[in-house]
Amino acid sequence: MHRTGALYGQFKTLEQQKDTATLGMWIFLVTEVMFFGGIMLAYTINRHTYFHAFAMGSNTLSLGLGGFNTVVLLASSFTMAMAVWSSQTSRKSLITLFLSLTILLGFVFFGVKYVEYAQKFHHHLVPGKSFDIFYCVNSPTKCEDIDAADMAKEKEELEVAAKADPDLNAHAQLYYSAYFGMTGLHALHMVIGAGLLFWLLKESVAGKFNAEWNNPVDIVGLYWHFVDIVWIYLFPLLYLIDRHK
Amino acid sequence: MSENEHTEHIVSPGMYLTIILTLLALTGITVFAAFIDLGRFNIVVALLIATVKATLVVLIFMHAKYAPERTKLVIIAGIFWLALLLFMTLSDYASRVDYRGVRYPMTQIISHTIEDRG
C-alpha cells in the first residue's frame, strides 16, 4: 500500500484517516455494547425473579476488593487517556510511561480478581457439584478468613433468605454463574486489552508514535475505556444489590 | 470538504484530571448510596450514577464530544438499539401471561419482594 509519511494512500488527509479509524472502532464497540447488553438483560430478569438469592450472593462478595478494583480500573483509564494525549503532543517518553502505568494497573486488577476468585473456590461458591451457599455458615472453621461479626451477619441473612426462597442454593448458584460469566468475560476483554497495550508499548519504545501518527494509541484507548465502562456497570450490578441490610 | 478540514481536538491533561476525580467521587457516592435503604430505588440510583460515569468516559476520555457528527450518530444509534433490546424484552417479561394463564414469575416475585422489604 502506498504510504506518504503517516498518511496511507486511500486517504486525502491525516484527519480523514483518523476519523475513519475512529468510526470503524466505534462500530465495533457498538457490537460489544449489544453483546454485554444482552448478558446484562438476562442478568436483570434473573435478578428480579430470584431477588433474595441474588441479594444473598451479592452480599457474600467482598465490597472492599470490588471497590478497590473499580478505583484501579478508573485510574488505568486516566493513564490511558494521558498516553493518548502524550502521543497527540509527540511526548515520546511520556507515551511509554503512561502505557506502562496502564499495563501495571491492569495487572493490579488481575491480581485482585485472582484473590477474589480464589476466595470463592475456597468458600464453595463456584457453580457446580460442590456449590453450597451455606458452606461457610455450616463449617466456619474452614472459612477462617471471614471474621466473626461478618459470619454472624451472613448466618442471619441466610436464614431470612432461605425462608423467603425455599430453593435458595440453586438460585444463588444462578447468581454466581452470572458473576463468573460477567466478570470472566470482562476479564477476558482486559486480557486482550493488555495484549494490545504490550504491542503499543513495543511500538512506542521504537518511537513510532507522534502527533501525526497515533491512531493505534487512540483506537486501543477507545477499547480500554469501553472495558472500563463495562466495569462501571458491573460493579453496582454485582456488588451493590442489597448492602443496606 | 469540511470534514477534511476538521482538525484534531486535543483534550488537556487538566480536563482528564477533572474527569478522573469526578469518576472517583461518583464511585464513592454510589457505594455510600447502596448503604441507604431506598427500597426499589436503590437500583435506580446505582444505575443513574453508573450512566453519568459512563457518559463522562464516552464524552471526554473517548473524545466523543469532539468527534465528527457521523461518529456521534453511530454512538447514538448503538445506545438506541440497546434501549430497544432492554425496553422490549423487559416489557414482554413484565406483562407476559403463559399458556396456563399464569403470569410470568417475575411480576409475582417482585411484588412479594417489595412486601417483604416493607
Residue A69's nearest CA partner among A113, A101, A120 is A113
Q: Which residue of A has its CA nearest to B114?
A: A51
Containing domain of residue A33, as a range? Answer: 22-132+169-239
Closest CA to A72 of A240, A224, A195, A245: A224
Domain identity same for B14 and B49: yes
Across B32-45, average pLDDT: 93
Q: Are residues B37 and B4 in the same domain?
A: yes
Transcribe chain B into DSSP letters.
Answer: -HHHHPPPPPPPHHHHHHHHHHHHHHHHHHHHHHTS--TTHHHHHHHHHHHHHHHHIIIIIT-GGGS-HHHHHHHHHHHHHHHHHHHHHHHHHHH-B-TTSPBPHHHHHHHHHHHHT-
Q: Cα distance from A49 to chain B (closest Cα, Å)? A: 5
| pLDDT score at B109 | 47
Q: What is the pLDDT of residue B111?
A: 45
Residues B61 and B73 in one domain: no
**Average pLDDT over chain A, rounded to whole?**
94
Q: How many CB pairs under 8 A join A and B?
A: 151
Asked if residue B62 and residue B91 are part of one domain, the reply reads no
How far apart CA A229 and CA A223 sit, in angstroms, is 10
Set of cell numbers at residue B112: 412479594
Of B20, B75, B86, the CB nearest to A78: B20
Kindly state whether residue A15 falls inside one of the protein's structural domains: no
Contacts of A41 (CB under 8 A, 6+ apart): B85, B86, B89, B90
The fraction of chain A above a pLDDT of 90, given in percent, is 87
How would residue B114 be classed by pLDDT, with cut points 50, 70 and 90? very low
Q: How many CB atoms within 10 Å of residue B58?
A: 21
Contacts of B7 in chain A (CB under 8 A): 15
Q: Cβ contacts (< 8 Å) between B6 and chain A: which residues?
A: 15, 19
Domain check: are B5 and B49 in the same one? yes
Q: Which pLDDT belongs to residue B105?
A: 62
Say how many domains are in chain B: 2
Evaluate if residue B118 carries a pLDDT over 90. Answer: no
Nearest CA in chain B to A21: B71
Rounded to two decimals, the ipTM of the complex is 0.93
Question: Which domain covers residue B36, as residue numbers?
Answer: 1-67
Beta-carbon contacts of A129 under 8 Å, excluding residues fewer than 6 positions away, are: none
* A66 reaches B (C-beta below 8 A): no
Number of domains in chain A: 1
- CB distance B58–A228 less than 8 Å? no
Strand A3-4 to A7-8 pairing: antiparallel
Contact B34 A240 (CB under 8 A): yes
pLDDT of residue B7: 67
pLDDT confidence of residue A146: 87
Phi, psi torsion values for A7, nearest 5 degrees: -95, 120
Statement to judge: residues B33 and B85 lie in one domain: no
In whole angstroms, give the CA distance from residue A132 to residue B4.
61
Range A203-217 average pLDDT: 95
Average pLDDT over residues A135-154: 90
Q: Are B82 and A33 in contact (CB under 8 A)?
A: yes
- Of A44-58, A97-111, A121-135, B87-101, the range with the lowest mean pLDDT is B87-101
Reported as a single tens digit per residue, the pLDDT across A66-124 is 999 999 999 999 999 999 999 999 999 999 999 999 999 999 999 999 999 999 999 99
Would the CB atoms of B85 and A52 count as touching at under 8 Å?
Answer: no
| Residue at A13 is within a domain | no
- Between B100 and A47, the more confident residue is A47
Is the pLDDT assigned to residue A167 strictly greater than 60? yes
pLDDT value of residue A129: 92
Interface test with B, best of A58, A240, A241 (most B CBs within 10 A): A240
Residue A38 · residue B87 · CB < 8 Å: no
What CATH number is given to the structural domain containing A60? 1.20.120.80
pLDDT of B92: 87
